Amino acid sequence: MKLKKADILKALEKISAPGDGQNIVESGAITNIQVFGDEVEVDVTIKNPSLQAKKKTEVEILKCIHREVYEKAKIKVNLKVDAPATPKVNQIKGNPIPGIQNIVAVASGKGGVGKSTITANLAVTLAKMGFKVGLLDTDIYGPSMPIMFDVANEKPLSINVDGKAKMKPIENYGVKLLSIGFFTQPNQAVIWRGPMAAKALNQMIFDAHWGELDFLLLDLPPGTGDIHLSIMQSLPVTGAVVVSTPQEIALADARKGVAMFQQEAISVPVLGIVENMAYFTPAELPDHKYHIFGQNGAKNLAEDLDVPFLGEIPLVQGIREAGDVGRPAALQTATPTEEAFEELTRNVVQELVRRNTDLPPTEAIKITTMAGCAAVKKK
């Protein structure tokens, strides 16, 4: 028997394309039909990549032609899948944590560039702006937040929340703080493996009573190891801030830091790069800037990597001293240091609002107004 292409097309109109109410001919899923005597070859492209959808489409085509056109037709179905690409940006891994609006990870490729100092000052500046702020010190190699917040001798209490025992973060300067340092002895060297550390950190997030937070800052350990991977994959991190000095060796590591967040397995949007220890100004020569670690290195790196430059923080003796006595320098009022941290914080908030393109406009305006930024136009 000689089959006709028109009959086959008409028959296939009886099969509906999943999802859009059209049949598979109308929807354009059937891309070609060839007939040779009693043999038929049907080319079909579907969007659903699952094995089940592929099998179902094939079986329906076979059955339909046998039933409607010719029961002994020899049919070959060539099936292709054209699945829409899944968007990679703005992807947040892990379940949202009730009450916590934004989780911002602060990282550095290299150790000692001032990541913890920047995180502590960001936290107190956000609190000064009126935000509800939490800070989780995940630096398993050297948790420094208890000292920077003058709470090294405190221990988080267990409280009862809705019948469950929860850890109560320690609060100072308007910032709620939990640190791996609260659970280790000061002189004890702890060797953590990635999954073990991730488990401890998960407990400090999910078994802690953070309450309502606009921002939870994560002070990450230096480097780009498996511990970072464990943290990033288990928490819904909104964005990452990378800290570097302008020095070549620090920049090379900061580049790795940015690449870590951008790799497929992590995919956390990079809010931008901060240049710490950008220059030194001696108190007796306030107009002089000495670029001890080089000039504009982190700014150039940000341009090169096409990520925002969030600002520069000078090398100031007072910043180091304030950290050591447990009162972050940004708490001082009417100083150039306070101003520098305010500008940095506003830029972080602004980038965060940009990144949260799905944030309702009222929320975006509330956040930017609280940070003293002009309302940000979304990209």
Q: Which of 124, 274, 315, 352 binds ligand ATP (CB under 6 A)?
A: 315
Q: Where are the beta strands (DSSP E) in the chain?
A: 30-36, 39-46, 74-81, 100-107, 133-137, 157-161, 164-168, 170-172, 175-179, 213-219, 239-244, 270-280, 309-315
Contact string (CB under 6 A) for ligand ATP, positions 48-77, x = contact: ------------------------------
Fill in the DSSP letter of residue 182. Answer: G
Q: Which of 101, 117, 230, 350 binds ligand ATP (CB under 6 A)?
A: 117
The residue range among 105-113, 128-136, 165-173, 247-255 that interacts with ligand ATP, by the rule CB under 6 A, is 105-113
- 8 Å CB contact between 236 and 215: no
Closest to 361 measured CA to CA, from 376, 346, 349 = 376
- 116 among annotated binding-site residues: yes
User: Which positions from 323 through 352 interact with ligand ATP, judged by CB under 6 A?
Assistant: 323
CA torsion 112-113-115-121 (nearest 10°) is: 110
Q: Which of 116, 347, 350, 368 binds ligand ATP (CB under 6 A)?
A: 116
Give the up-direction half-sphere exposure of residue 17: CA atoms within 13 A in the CB hemisphere.
Answer: 17
- 8 Å CB contact between 348 and 241: yes
- 111 among annotated binding-site residues: yes
Does 179 participate in binding ligand ATP (rule CB under 6 A)? no
* Per-position b or e across 13-25, b if 16+ CB within 10 A of its CB: bebebbeeeeebb
Does 112 participate in binding ligand ATP (rule CB under 6 A)? yes
Radius of gyration of the chain (CA): 28
**Total site size for ligand ATP, rule CB under 6 A:** 20
The smaller minimum CB distance to ligand ATP, of residues 187 and 362, is found at 187
The residue range among 9-17, 71-79, 110-118, 260-268 that interacts with ligand ATP, by the rule CB under 6 A, is 110-118
Does 175 participate in binding ligand ATP (rule CB under 6 A)? no
Q: Which of 313, 331, 344, 364 binds ligand ATP (CB under 6 A)?
A: 313
- 112 among annotated binding-site residues: yes
Closest to 329 measured CA to CA, from 117, 115, 114 = 117
Q: Whole-number minimum distance, CB 119 to ligand ATP, in Å?
A: 8
* CA gap 228, 273 in Å, rounded: 18
Bridge partners, residue 290, by sequence: 280
The smaller minimum CB distance to ligand ATP, of residues 40 and 133, is found at 133
Q: Whole-number minimum distance, CB 16 to ligand ATP, in Å?
A: 59
Does 105 participate in binding ligand ATP (rule CB under 6 A)? no
- 372 among annotated binding-site residues: no
User: Which positions from 122 through 141 interact with ligand ATP, judged by CB under 6 A?
Assistant: 139
- 114 among annotated binding-site residues: yes
The smaller minimum CB distance to ligand ATP, of residues 94 and 111, is found at 111
User: Which positions from 204 through 223 interact with ligand ATP, judged by CB under 6 A?
Assistant: 222
Dihedral over Cα of 68, 70, 72, 73: its sign? negative
- 272 among annotated binding-site residues: no
The smaller minimum CB distance to ligand ATP, of residues 269 and 323, is found at 323
Give the up-direction half-sphere exposure of residue 367: CA atoms within 13 A in the CB hemisphere.
Answer: 27
Does 266 participate in binding ligand ATP (rule CB under 6 A)? no
Q: Based on the number of CB atoms within 10 Å of its own CB, is 176 exposed (0-12), middle (13-18) or buried (19 or more)?
A: buried
Does 319 participate in binding ligand ATP (rule CB under 6 A)? yes
Does 114 participate in binding ligand ATP (rule CB under 6 A)? yes
Fill in the DSSP letter of residue 269. Answer: P
Dihedral over Cα of 336, 341, 342, 343: its sign? positive
Does 240 participate in binding ligand ATP (rule CB under 6 A)? no
Q: Which residues bind ligand ATP (CB under 6 A)?
A: 108, 111-117, 139, 142, 144, 222, 276-277, 313, 315-316, 319-320, 323
